[in-house]
Amino acid sequence: MRRLHRRDFLKLAGSLSASVALQRVFRTSSHQPEQERPLQSIIIILFDTMSAKNLSLYGYPRQTTPNLERFAERATVYHSHYSAGNYTVPGTASFLTGMYPWTHRAIHPSGLIKRAYETRNFFNLFGSGYQRLGFSQNIWANSFLNQFDPEIDHHLPPSSFSDASLIVGEKFGNDHNAAFLAFDNSLASVKDAPSSLLLGLAENLMFSRRLNGAQGRDYPRGLPGLVDYPLYYRLEKVFDGVISECQNLGSTHLAYFHFWSPHEPYRPHRKFINAFQDELQVLAKPPHPMGDQTPQDSLDRLRRRYDQYIANVDHEFGRLMNSLGQAGILDRSYVVVTSDHGQMIERGVHGHVTPLLYEPIINIPLLISVPGQSSRKDVYSPSVNIDVLPTLLQIADIEIPDWCIGQVLPGFFGDRADEQRSIFSMEAKTNSAFAPFKKATIVMRKGAYKLIAYFGYQEVEEGYELYDIENDPEELKDLAREHPAEFARMKEELLDHLADANRPFER
């Protein structure tokens, strides 16, 4: 008997009755998006390194996000939303293109989207009928905006609204990415040094003087800034700049704002420096063999600082929403709030550039507010960040291209969740972008279950972990041996997908 291939299964699933794919019940469902009016404007707010697990919006015990919760009362809130990658490059590339990393191939810290696929992005698909604005404080994400530059009407460089910066790549108009790789990225390990070999000591001294002048008592831990890169800013000043840009947008626009915060280093304003001096009891999980073996007391300290910084970012987000509301922009705009990936502060690991893909690192926030929406809707079905692009295209009545494999998010146009759907996240930063995946971590979420597969790592003997996320959200009990049938089914499907991804690169 012929084995049912994944593609055959998808065809079969598509022919089943709607009752098989019933969506989970929303907490409230009083508002439906307008279908007859074309999209007037979209504002995308992306916070770098914001884990859903640390947001009080999703039940975290510290009150980290009162303003996100206020915004949620006029939005659709997705509770099981995932990034397709564990750090900026694969996560952001997937969001902007609607493709998984195994297709767009931006998998390395300095990776770019496959050249043949550069036009597969938000800005190109929405077209010149929209005023298109792009801003990313994150230099790696800005590399994608540089790739899309012909389709962006107003491209703000990463140093916009900053207090001190020596990012050299943005000064080379003919090829920002080449300059970034040649100067900024190649010398990124030189702390607070100018990346330009041409400008040398004089510029370094001038930069240090500017930075010292910008420092003040408002930021006791120092100004927020990029890791290893000479760019520092005041959080409130960046939000002031974004507020101003939003108020100057035309009536039909697509605006993408990628904030660096709350990415480490955690440097909040002094108003939040002493927040959460509590005795929060976090479940101490055993260190993972592929972890950094960071002691638990250090993780607890880092968690508190991360939470303080999230609270600071949330405060500034509240100011942004107040401004947009007063200007009437919220009443005529779709507003998307999300992240590129989360942050892991458990199992001996602090950070996100790790082969471990547990929930804190890939479960990210997603809130979408529709013009005129006045009530909250909660969606619990799993989704992935490649779904946002086709959702907004459908709202804008723009044809969704065949290569975009994301699905329209449940909660829009009566679309229901596909409970038989599998979604994926992956990490493969040490694997060649031009070869089959031999060293990678791949996650497949299907219904209540989550399968983690490790390929090419000597530290992990078994290679697979299976969790029931609905009943074990902390991922404490590996069910790979207890549920052999479910494990075998999910493993076979994951390997089918991996084989499909590898086939074009096999000789």
**In the chain, what's the furthest Cα-to-Cα distance?**
74
The mean pLDDT value of the chain amounts to 87
Residue 72 in contact with residue 57, Cβ under 8 Å?
yes
**DSSP helix/strand/coil, 199:** coil
Least confident of 73-82, 180-189, 243-252, 264-273: 180-189
CA angle 362, 253, 410 (to 5 degrees): 40
pLDDT digits (tens, 9 = 90+) for 105-119: 999 988 999 999 999
Nearest CA-CA partner of 498 in 448, 446, 428, 450: 428
Q: What is the pLDDT of residue 414?
A: 63
CA distances from 158 to 173, 260, 350, 494 (A): 14, 9, 25, 37
**Mean pLDDT calculated for residue range 447-472:** 92
**Mean pLDDT calculated for residue range 253-259:** 97
CA distances from 178 to 172, 184, 200, 430, 494 (A): 9, 10, 20, 21, 36
Single pTM value for the model: 0.88
Nearest CA-CA partner of 321 in 330, 311, 312, 310: 330
Check residues 372 and 194 and name the one with the higher pLDDT.
372
d(CA 93, CA 48): 13
Q: Which helix (DSSP H) or strand (DSSP E) does residue 81 occupy?
A: strand 81-82
**DSSP helix/strand/coil, 67:** helix
Backbone angles phi, psi at 61, to 5 degrees: -65, -30
Backbone angles phi, psi at 41, to 5 degrees: -165, 150
**Mean pLDDT calculated for residue range 128-132:** 94
CA atoms 237, 369, 352, 495: torsion sign: negative
What are the domain boundaries of the chain? 34-161+233-424
CA distances from 434 to 3, 114, 430 (A): 30, 10, 12
Residue 17 tokens, joined? 């009755």
**Mean pLDDT calculated for residue range 210-221:** 80
> Hey, how many other C-beta atoms are within 10 angstroms of the C-beta on 150?
9
Share of the chain above pLDDT 90, in %: 72
pLDDT digits (tens, 9 = 90+) for 51-74: 999 999 999 999 999 999 999 999
Say yes or no to pLDDT of 128 above 80: yes
Residue 386 tokens, joined? 């490649």
Residue 42 tokens, joined? 């979209």
d(CA 388, CA 71): 19
Say yes or no to pLDDT of 191 above 80: no
Say yes or no to pLDDT of 338 above 60: yes
Q: What is the pLDDT of residue 90?
A: 97
Q: Residue 3, exposed/middle/buried by CB under 10 A (0-12, 13-18, 19+)?
A: exposed
CA distances from 83 to 96, 99, 140, 355, 427 (A): 12, 11, 16, 14, 11
Note the CATH number of domain 34-161+233-424. Answer: 3.40.720.10
**Partners of 164 in the β-ladder:** 232
Q: What amino acid is encoded at 120 in this protein? A: R
**Mean pLDDT calculated for residue range 375-400:** 95
- Model confidence at 17, pLDDT cuts 50, 70, 90, reads very low
Q: What amino acid is encoded at 67 in this protein? A: N
CA distances from 214 to 193, 264, 313 (A): 17, 19, 20
